[in-house]
Amino acid sequence: MSIKFLLIDDDVQSGDAPAERYAEKLTQVSKGALTVGTYRPQSIDKVLAHIGDAKPDGLLVDVAFTNALTEEHVSIAYDGMALAQQIRTWQTRGLRQQRHKPAGISSGAPFQARCYSRIHQGRHHG
């Protein structure tokens, strides 16, 4: 059974699809041990709902969401670091207050969230 990660990146579904290629490469080099899906960020509520629906084992989050827009075509008001921090905050609150867990965010097993920048991609599994 493969580990399921979700890549949250503002370049998902863009013309040259770098996020999809990155996700495919990670899946490929893991030889089936890892499955990486992709998601383009919108409002933070929609991102969290998608995470809850997808139920990944972990997240890979782009550091900067410079190309991400809301449905109203306005730049989103947060970046990948803020999203990762918000998820971490909700997890720790959930561990302390089991009855007030945010929807879609588990407070059970540790959830892995990592931020990355494609600037460093060339230095990894070429």
Q: List, for residues 39-57, the tens digit of each pLDDT value.
A: 989 888 888 889 888 989 9
Domains and CATH numbers, the chain: 3-120 (3.40.50.2300)
What is the structure's pLDDT at 89?
85
What is the structure's pLDDT at 42?
87
Q: CB atoms < 10 A from the CB of 12, how many?
A: 21
What is the structure's pLDDT at 123?
40
Reported pTM:
0.70
Q: List, for residues 91-117, the tens digit of each pLDDT value.
A: 787 655 544 444 444 444 455 555 555
What is the structure's pLDDT at 37?
92
Per-residue CA distances from 84 to 25, 27, 102, 121, 126 (Å): 23, 22, 15, 20, 26
